[in-house]
């Protein structure tokens, strides 16, 4: 199994550099058919931020969902990532914020503090004023 950096995933989906985008898709496809790809949670969060700078929330969520269901892809803490994606679709917070919450609460955190108004509307998340 191997891991590819966030910029490889971003190139594969954004098509913002013809040569690198083609290479990224080829590497990902070959790895998925072969030894597989492991995606750390931090790569998912970074990819969400990169894609969100160009795409709307729905398209980002759809893309993450496709990645999650791709044969040959293994997601770190898959259940937490799935829950974060589901919650980001139904709540006001984005995927990266929901991922932070899911990981923190799974580790026993009782409350998250933030300056982010949208994130603060989530359960057990409090906004600092």
3-state secondary structure of 36: coil
% pLDDT > 70, the chain: 100
The residue extents of the domains of the chain are 1-76, 77-129
pLDDT at 80 over 90: yes
Rounded to whole angstroms, the Cα distance separating 34 from 50 reads 27
Residue given tokens 């997601």 in the structure block = 75
pTM for this entry: 0.91
% pLDDT > 90, the chain: 96
- Select from 31, 27, 50 the least CA-distant residue to 96: 50
Q: Please give the pLDDT value at position 91.
A: 76
3 pLDDT tier (thresholds 50, 70, 90): very high
106 pLDDT tier (thresholds 50, 70, 90): very high
Q: Please give the pLDDT value at position 74.
A: 98
Asked if residues 49 and 96 have their Cβ atoms less than 8 Å apart, the reply is yes
- Over the chain, what is the mean pLDDT? 96
- Select from 115, 106, 93 the least CA-distant residue to 41: 106
Q: For residue range 59-74, list pLDDT tens digits in order.
A: 999 999 999 999 999 9
Q: Please give the pLDDT value at position 92.
A: 75
């Amino acid at each position: 199994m191997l891991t590819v950096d966030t910029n490889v995933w971003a190139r594969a989906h954004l098509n913002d550099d013809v040569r690198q985008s083609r290479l990224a898709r080829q590497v990902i496809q070959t790895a998925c058919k072969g030894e597989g790809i492991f995606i750390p949670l931090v790569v998912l969060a970074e990819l969400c931020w990169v894609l969100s700078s160009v795409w709307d929330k729905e398209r980002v969520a759809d893309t993450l969902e496709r990645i999650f269901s791709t044969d040959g892809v293994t997601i770190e803490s898959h259940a937490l990532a799935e829950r974060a994606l589901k919650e980001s679709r139904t709540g006001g917070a984005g995927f990266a914020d929901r991922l932070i919450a899911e990981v923190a609460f799974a580790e026993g955190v009782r409350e998250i503090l933030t300056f982010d108004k949208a994130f603060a509307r989530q359960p057990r998340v409090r906004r600092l004023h």
